[in-house]
Amino acid sequence: YPDSMRNILGTNIAEVHGATHKRIRGSLLSLIGPTSVKDRLVPEVDEFMRSYLDNWDGKIIDLQEKTVEMSFFISLKAVVENEPNSFLESFKATFDKMAIATISLPIKFPGTNYYRGLKVSMS
């Protein structure tokens, strides 16, 4: 991984090996296994998609942007379930800064994407 990504994200599941990796992988699979997907995730995604699409009536939208946004919010809601929309919007803005910073040149100078990403990751 590039230095900028490691500096901002720190150690993550992609860098974990052996027994720790096996334990983390098992935990994640229990969240997204076939039974969990069918019983919990599909109904939640269906409800979310219907409410999200209802807000599009009479509006001109950027379909690519909204598709990425929906995917992000569905994934986030699967993890943090009952958070208000204001939290989700704030989290997305923070996430976007970090995502841009991880692929930036690692120049620690105010005003650069990398610098903003470091600040966000420290907060």
Domain boundaries of the chain, sorted by first residue:
13-80, 83-123
Q: Are 60 and 80 in contact (CB under 8 A)?
A: no
Cβ neighbour number for residue 17 with a 10 Å cutoff? 8
pLDDT of residue 88: 78
Count how many Cα atoms sit within 13 Å of the Cα of residue 70 in the half-sphere of its side chain.
20
Residue located via tokens 């991984």: 1
Tell me: the pLDDT tens digits for 44-75? 888 888 888 888 888 898 988 888 888 888 87
pLDDT of residue 12: 64
Nearest of 101, 94, 92 to residue 71 by alpha carbon: 92
Q: Which amino acid is at 46?
A: D
> What would the two tokens of residue 78 be?
């699967």
pLDDT of residue 76: 79
- What is the full per-residue pLDDT of the chain (123 aa) written as tens digits? 567 777 777 766 566 778 877 877 777 777 677 777 788 778 888 888 888 888 888 889 898 888 888 888 887 777 776 667 777 788 888 888 888 888 888 888 999 988 888 888 887
Helix or strand run (H / E) with residue 117? helix 113-122
Question: Any residues with CB less than 8 A from the CB of 76 and at least 6 apart, and which?
Answer: 88, 91, 92
pLDDT of residue 11: 63
Nearest of 44, 98, 102 to residue 75 by alpha carbon: 44
Q: Which amino acid is at 32?
A: I
Q: Which amino acid is at 88?
A: L
Question: How many whole angstroms separate alpha carbon 121 and alpha carbon 95?
Answer: 9
pLDDT of residue 77: 75
pLDDT of residue 110: 92
